[in-house]
Structure formats: structure tokens, C-alpha cells
Structure 1
């Protein structure tokens, strides 16, 4: 049986779910002298997240991290479903799709490491940044040409919205 191209899944996506560290960030953590952990997020990723929300897509973040600054940034973009401290991501995923009546095959999930594996095995379009670990790349139907925190989120959102005719039309 011939393997489907990832592009064949784009038309069916109604929901985006992203990990934070290694996906929305480059996995770096700056530690201040007071012990505060700082992360950098890509502004273009942020634009795409907000644009997809405005276009009517479901959006969630599932992360094992608990950084309050990350939560404030994501909520500032309009993302209401932010699951932090989710060490068992599959449980958070199942609760989210059940509460929102979402079919797993309509979900694009982008992760980069072992904690994302279980969720990625059950979604319609598992995807990852270019610098994800080999095990995650091995189950991804789409591997972005961009690294985590460097536009991988924008890349995948833009592709889905373009295929569905919902991306920015400039003329």
C-alpha cells in the first residue's frame, strides 16, 4: 500500500496542538541570577497562532513545563486551552478532544521529544521541527524544514491554511 503524502492530510485539519519547549522555543533556557527560567518565542510563530485562531481553528498547547511567562504569552495570543505541567500528555490530549468534540484524525500535533510520542501516534497529522529527536521524526508525517522556535510552527500552520484557502490573500 502506498504511503500518503502529508499534503493529503492538510484539508482535514481543524485543530492544532503544540508542545512548547523545542517546538515554540529552541529548547534553550536562560537562567537568571534569581533562578528564573527564560525562553524565547518566535514572533512569526505567534502571528500564525493568532491568525489560525481568528480563522476559526481549535488551538491547544500541551507542555510538561510550568513557566508562568509562557502561559501569559500564549493566553495573550488568545489561546485559551493551555495545559502546563502535563507530564502525561496523552491524558491532557484525550480530555481536550473529548471536551471539544474533536476527532483525533482532524488534529495536527507538533512535538519534538519522547513526551510527545504517545499523542503523535494517535493524531491525523503528527509533525515535528527539523531538529526533533530521531524517534519523533520516525513517526512524523511532516518534518518542517525549520527548527523549533525558529518558524516551524508558522511553517505548518501556513501550509494548512493555504491548502484550505484561509491564509492571508495579498493583492
Structure 2
């Protein structure tokens, strides 16, 4: 019998995420000067910062090259932001080795073809509701949320709740002891 994705949540220590189509809705607004603009959901930002504050690893691996995106993520406290990743497995293996991680302790969320190898490699591969069919076919969890619509918050909150670390008191998350 196949393992339910819910059973895998207990062992997660690390969240590795794509940007376009996951942290954003995948749409690009192009300014007159040619700058590519994106929007991100503040709820995803809150969840990533909360995960970091509770001892989880958070890493970003994206094919995008926008320094503004990197600045936003670094501003949340994410130290490992890999831009211009044409083969995401290179950065994924680097990150795993650097932090002595086991694949079964990692969530990877992606939405498009470059994410498929990483989704297959980790313990819990997942995607937004509007990911392409090839990604959905290899994901163990498909969020009910679309990319850019708090799908990252969805998976982080589930992991933290299962592990007893999403403790809300007076509207604020309190670190578990």
C-alpha cells in the first residue's frame, strides 16, 4: 500500500521551493524598460519566515535571474537562494551535501518541467493546483491552492501542524519547546 503524503509530513525538516508558478502565479508584467515584475503572496512569506524561526531549512532554487526576487527572499531570512538554475538538481545536490540532509526530510514544490527531477528526488514532492500535468503526475501532494495564492503556506502549515510547531496564541505563532 502506498504511503499517504500525510505520513511523510512528520519527517520534514526542509522546504525547497521554485519561484515562478509557485511563489508567484507565473505571470510576468513587463515594464517599458523591459524589467520583469512579479507578485508574491504575503501569506507565503509569513509561512517561510515562521518555518525559519522554528528551525526548518528553507531554500529557493529557480531558473529566474531577478535580483529583486532574491532581495525579497533574503529579507525574509532565507540564506540559500539559487538563481539562474538551468539544472536544479545541481543546486539541490549542493544544498543537500552542504547541510547534510537526507532526501526523505525534504519537501520540494515546483510547477513545471525543470522541477520534475527534484520532485522525484525528495521525500515529499508537491506542486500547486495549477501545475502542469507532468508535474502533478509525479507529485505526492497537489495543493488545493494555485501558484502565488499561498500554496507554499499550505504545505508549510501542514508540516508544522503535524509536528506540533504551528502553535497559535493570541494571533501569533509561539515557538514549540
User: TM (normalized to structure 2)?
Assistant: 0.95
Secondary structure of 1:28's aligned partner? coil
* C-alpha distance in structure 1 between counterparts of 2:46 and 2:150, whole Å: 11
Q: Alignment RMSD, CA only?
A: 0.7
Distance of 2:82 and 2:50 partners within structure 1 = 20
- Aligned ranges for residues 1-171 of structure 1 at < 5 Å? 2-170=1-169
CA distance in 2, matches of 1:47, 1:164: 18
SS in 1 for 2:114: helix
Moved over 4 A (4+): none
1:36-69 CA deviation, whole Å, 9 max, x = no partner?
Answer: 1000000000000000000000110000000011
3-state SS of paired residue (2:169): coil
Distance 2:21 2:27 in 1: 8
Question: 2: distance between equivalents of 1:86 and 1:70?
Answer: 14
Which secondary structure state, in structure 2, belongs to the residue aligned with residue 105 of structure 1? helix
Alpha-carbon distance between aligned partners in 2 of 1:113 and 1:170, rounded to the nearest angstrom: 37
- How many pairs align? 170
User: CA offsets per residue over residues 123-171 of structure 1, 9 Å max, x none?
Assistant: 0000000000001001111000000000100000000000000013236
CA distance in 2, matches of 1:155, 1:121: 20
| CA apart distance, 1:4 | 1.1
- How many Å separate the matches in 2 of 1:109 and 1:68? 22
Q: List gaps (5 residues or longer) in structure 1.
A: none
Give structure 2 stretches of 5+ with no counterpart: 171-177
Matches of 1:28 and 1:46 in 2, distance apart? 18
